[in-house]
Chains A and B, each alone.
Chain A
Amino acid sequence: MAWAGTGLLWTISGGVLASRTLAEIAKAGGSLPAATDLSFLQISDSHIGFSKEANKDVTETFKIALDRINAMPTPPAFLIHTGDITQLSKPEEFDTFDEVLKSCRTKDVFYVPGEHDVLNDGGKLYRDRYLKSVEAKGSGWYSFNKNGVHFIGLVNVLNLQAGGLGQLGDDQLEWLEDDVKGLGADTPIVVFAHIPLWAVYPQWGWGTSDSERALGYLKRFGSVTVLNGHIHQVLQKVEGNVTFHTAMSTAFPQPAPGTAPSPGPMKVPAEQLRSLLGLTNVQYKQGKSALAVVDSNLS
């Protein structure tokens, strides 16, 4: 295998949220930041069932990503999967994912759906399988608390409108407003959803039409971190107290915004694939507006 899937490890330590890629952690001898209060891991876009040229064995790269997680000396408290578990929402694709995931030492996984997971049934199969451990509302959104951090999983891949982008919808937005109402402004917030909740590149549909309203409800909080998938590459942006971050896929890369005729799977020579396995070190420090980002690749 010329290249491997990646995951991001998020740590919350003394109010500081930071991320490092798995490969980077391995490179550093497997050590985690000291005094870690909570660590969790984001994986995304496994696309089980995809078998085209961009990666003919996505199950294998998903396994490699899990191997990296299992190799961590301190396992993450839980995983967050930010959608596109499967390529075509087929039961057998979900089965394969579930079977492979059994090898992961970390058992708690929180999901949000990608558009590939809800293709023909409005997400019923997805909801039946992946929302058992949460109190999901509506089409599958929910929140939970871990170590003083409030996590919010949103659904923005259903009921999409012609000509539009990802969409949360009124019901979900009203729920969100209510969900955060009682929280103190010093509560760290982590929001995760499949399609970016910021306008990464609307021409390719990389954005969510009503995300501004959602972010409006989170404005008063001192620390908001938004984790998305969908675009198969790391991009980030800081806006006030909000840090936006997209994760890499464990399946195949996609082109940078506007650099190809379409956002379809990107085929690159095997020797270049490794260079697409990015190392992205992100340090988010409370009270600081700037995000420290260090990117490096595996080649």
Chain B
Amino acid sequence: MITLISKNKMAALLCGIVFLNLSLLAFAGEMKDAGTSAHENQIEIKDFAFNPKTLTVKSGEKVTWINRDEEPHTIVSVEKQFKKSTALDTDQEFTITAGAPGTYNYFCSVHPKMTGTIVVEK
């Protein structure tokens, strides 16, 4: 049984149908300009790298990327397990909500050398 946690019920519903047998991160797809606020699970994008490169979170927690570079970056699941972000400009952020436990590899589709991993625990 998969538990999806998302603000976007329709999207979650669709995902639930399409990826019935896959574990996935539900997506909230929130993108906004970041202030100075710190998030619970924050990944900073700086100098063309995700920091921390590997982040472990609990299912149901939010994960937020903040771009601190002057270059646009994206967050794209290698296995298409969650919806990709649009290009984040400087100080823009992207948030997803962790779904089923598992390992989720992602990269920046603009600069594919940039890779990272989210580990979701129960």
Q: Which residues in A have some Cβ–Cβ distance to B below 8 Å? A: 50, 52-54, 87-89, 115-116, 119-120, 160-165, 203-205, 261-265
Contacts and interface: CB of A to CB of B under 8 A. Distances in A.
A165 B107 CA distance: 12
B109 interface: yes
Contact of B78 (A50, A116, A162, A263): A162
Nearest to B116: A162
A205 B72 contact: no
Could you tell me the dominant secondary structure of chain A's interface residues? loop
Given A52-B70, A119-B74, A119-B87, A203 B48 contact: no
B89 interface: yes
B113 interface: yes
Contacts of A120: 86-87
Contacts of A87: 72
A163 B78 CA distance: 10
B110 interface: yes
Interface residues of B, number: 23
A264 B74 contact: no
Given A120-B87, A162-B105, A163-B107, A264 B48 contact: yes
A252 to B, nearest CB: 9
B81 interface: no
Contact of A88 (B87, B105, B109, B111): B87
B87 A162 contact: no
A52 B68 CA distance: 12
A263 B90 CA distance: 15
